[in-house]
Chain A
Amino acid sequence: AQSVAQPEDQVNVAEGNPLTVKCTYSVSGNPYLFWYVQYPNRGLQFLLKYITGDNLVKGSYGFEAEFNKSQTSFHLKKPSALVSDSALYFCAVRDLGGGGNKLTFGTGTQLKVEL
């Protein structure tokens, strides 16, 4: 089965500094990887995805992610963090095994951006 891991429960960063939220994956075959953000009391919002092609994927709100096959990682990045980026971030992988079709999520990383 496909899986993703988010090793950090929380990441703290100062506004204006670059941020990285880590994700590693375990898949058989080609991975379909996603990042989502969840603001308090809201649903999940899609940020970006990697299917194939360029290893650097650009998404919404200035976020980008780097796919690294050798390190099986798909870290989320932003060059300059904003206080409004504070939220819960989920990495996910598409699992097409067993005839099914589902997104399997990591455990989430709480991002806190402080002034």
Chain B
Amino acid sequence: DTAVSQTPKYLVTQMGNDKSIKCEQNLGHDTMYWYKQDSKKFLKIMFSYNNKELIINETVPNRFSPKSPDKAHLNLHINSLELGDSAVYFCASSQTQGGAEAFFGQGTRLTVV
């Protein structure tokens, strides 16, 4: 069983479109995250949710809207896609404790053309 799964794996879309990426974890974790990995492989936190509540929003444009219908799911919706949004987006989850490692999904490679 996949611990953290996200779909789709690849997403190619035109500028201005709206798209969603779905994420689900079956680990019973309380905290879920979205990370963005750019073309230089830098990883940057975008959002963190704890028990469906938004905890961290790291100066992400409001075109990005996360939604957590329950603590096992954290979806990412992106409006009015721009070329600069092209990146790999990773979903992750962890227990809330400071020493808990995070488990990552396989990533969604978003290409905006």
**Chain A contact residues, CB within 8 Å of chain B:** 32, 34, 36, 38, 41-46, 49, 51-52, 88, 90, 94, 96, 99-105, 107-108
Contacts and interface: CB of A to CB of B under 8 A. Distances in A.
Contact of A88 (B33, B41, B98, B99): B41
B101 A49 contact: yes
B43 A105 contact: yes
Nearest to B95: A101
22 contacts: A34-B101, A36-B104, A41-B107, A43-B4, A43-B106, A44-B43, A45-B104, A46-B101, A46-B103, A49-B101, A52-B99, A100-B55, A101-B56, A101-B94, A101-B98, A102-B45, A102-B56, A103-B33, A103-B45, A107-B42, A108-B41, A108-B42
Nearest to B91: A43
A100 B99 contact: no
A24 to B, nearest CB: 17
A100 B48 contact: yes
A47 to B, nearest CB: 9
Given A34-B101, A96-B98, A108-B42, A101 B106 contact: no
A101 B96 contact: yes
- What is the predominant secondary structure among interface residues of chain B facing chain A? strand
Given A102-B56, A103-B45, A42 B107 contact: yes
A94 B99 contact: yes
A32 B98 contact: yes
Given A102-B45, A105-B44, 12 more contacts: A44-B92, A49-B99, A52-B99, A88-B41, A94-B98, A94-B99, A100-B48, A100-B56, A101-B50, A102-B33, A107-B40, A108-B42
Contacts of A103: 33, 45, 92, 94, 102
**Which 7 residue pairs spanning A and B have beta carbons closest together?**
A51-B99, A43-B104, A105-B43, A100-B56, A44-B104, A43-B106, A46-B101
B31 interface: yes
Contacts of B48: 100-102
B45 A104 contact: yes
B105 interface: yes
